[in-house]
Amino acid sequence: MYNILIAKYGEIGVKGKNRYLFENKLIKNIKNILSPLGDFKVYKEYGRIYVDLEDYDYEEVVEEVRKVFGIVGVCPAVRGEKDYNKLKEIALLVLNEKIEQGYKTFKVDSRRGDKNFELTSQQMSLDIGGYLVSQVKDKIAVDVKNPEVKISCELRENHVLVYADTIKGYGGLPLGTNGRALSLLSGGIDSPVASWMVAKRGMDLECVHFHSYPFTNEKSQEKVRDLVKILSKYCGKIRLHKVNIIEIQKAIASKCKDEEMTIISRRFMMRIAEEIANKRYCNALVTGESIGQVASQTIEGLTCTNSSVSIPVFRPLIAMDKTEIVDIAQKIGTFETSIEPEQDCCTVFAPTKPLTKPKLDRIEKSEQNLDIEKLIQDAINNMEVEELEFD
Ligand code: ATP
Ligand code: MG
């Protein structure tokens, strides 16, 4: 029955030329996300974006389109040739489906796009509502104040359109409209969520992962690749930088205090990420840190991590509870992969008792025992890069 989708976008409250750019970006991103399913016609008409469904299963297509950042809702609709009686017929089809689904009350909401049509929008609603009631008898009742379902009927310039449901999207802004971020991606629960949140605000995403191969195994890298692939469902192709920091960790272990291991390696991760970001024209780093979650994320720990770089660091989870983060991870589909038990570079050299209140001046002093520049350059020279896509 459904032969078209209406993709509604909300926050593109940007006016003028920007709006036009944003809409075009949205269309491109919708086409991209649908490309594994087929070649869809996606286009703009009267300030709306439509997707022609052809013979595709609409539920499958909706499920994809709602993932596109910037889309607030998707309505499966039936479009027919421009004819008022046709509009009533289609409305009846849609209403009958709603009756089968168990709805008990409805109202008709009409729109007259063609101003030459003899009935006003309100008259249309009354007329179509009356027709529907006469056809379905007492299977469903009209309730204009608080209906369980709204049958939206539109008489446009060139066609008629009926829809009832809106499947919610994630909102946000179209990808690629707000620069580019480099996300520090571990195999944990938090950093994939943080990455997703920043991408949702329109930033293109690249990722960097630090490992301690051969102390951490290949499977732990595989897990991170899997996470990147899930993210790429929302973000398009993602470039993943894999950096081995085993030599850095060994150097810290031999030259610094055991308890400083975590915080100093975190500072190295940040510095390396900053270099990659600058090379890749990324405007910011992203981490999955949240105040007080673990020893290295006390305010003192965050201060020490933060001051190792000058590039902006975005921490979208900073004030979120673990349960809230887990909710999002489940919703976006990263949770199951994140909880697979794999090794992590941070646990390889984990101090028995990490500093919870590191002092920046002491940490900096301790780092003077290390050849920071050389350690960083060696790690970057051995970096591996790959582009990943959802499969
Ligand atoms: P996550 O669930 O994201 O692993 P976490 O709660 O385990 O976070 P930490 O281990 O303190 O917290 O890491 C804080 C942040 O530092 C991570 O969210 C991530 O952005 C970054 N990070 C930690 N380990 C790595 C790693 N091996 N590679 C890349 N980034 C990392
Ligand atoms: Mg972690």
Give the integer Cα–Cα distance in Å for 98 and 78: 14
Computed over every residue of the chain, the mean pLDDT equals: 93
CA 117 – ligand 1 centroid, Å: 61
CATH 3.30.70.1510 domain range(s) in the chain: 1-81
Instruction: Name the closest-CA residue to atom 9, ligand 1.
Output: 289
Does the beta carbon of 346 sit less than 6 angstroms from any atom of ligand 1?
Answer: yes
Predicted TM-score (pTM) of the model is 0.91
Q: For the residues 125-141, what does the mean pLDDT come to?
A: 94
Instruction: Name the pLDDT band for 107 (thresholds 50, 70, 90).
Output: very high
Atom of ligand 1 nearest to the CA of 286: 20
CATH 3.40.50.620 domain range(s) in the chain: 180-388
pLDDT tens digits, 137-158:
889 999 999 999 999 999 998 9
CA 344 – ligand 1 centroid, Å: 9
CATH number of 1-81: 3.30.70.1510
pLDDT tens digits, 78-90:
999 999 999 999 9
CATH 3.30.2300.10 domain range(s) in the chain: 83-155
Does the beta carbon of 184 sit less than 6 angstroms from any atom of ligand 1?
Answer: yes
Per-residue tokens: 321:
């509870």
CA 191 – ligand 1 centroid, Å: 6
**DSSP output for 150-165:** EEEEEE-SSEEEEE--
Instruction: Name the closest-CA residue to atom 22, ligand 1.
Output: 186
CA 91 – ligand 2 centroid, Å: 52
More confident residue, 113 or 96: 96
Q: Does domain 180-388 have CATH number 3.40.50.620?
A: yes
Per-residue tokens: 220:
């732990």
Q: Which ligand is nearest to the CA of 193?
A: 1
Give the integer Cα–Cα distance in Å for 51 and 49: 7
The bridge status of strand 149-155 relative to strand 105-112 is parallel
Name the fold adopted by 83-155. THUMP fold (3.30.2300)
Neighbours of ion ligand 2 (CB under 5 A): 186, 188
Atom of ligand 1 nearest to the CA of 193: 3
Report the run of H or E that residue 284 belongs to, with start and end.
strand 284-286
**Residue-level pLDDT at 15:** 62
Residue-wise burial string across 47-74, b where 16 or more C-beta atoms lie within 10 A, e elsewhere:
eebbbebeebebeebbebbbbbbbbbbb
Q: What share of the chain is helix, strand, coil (3-state, %, to 5)?
A: 45, 20, 35
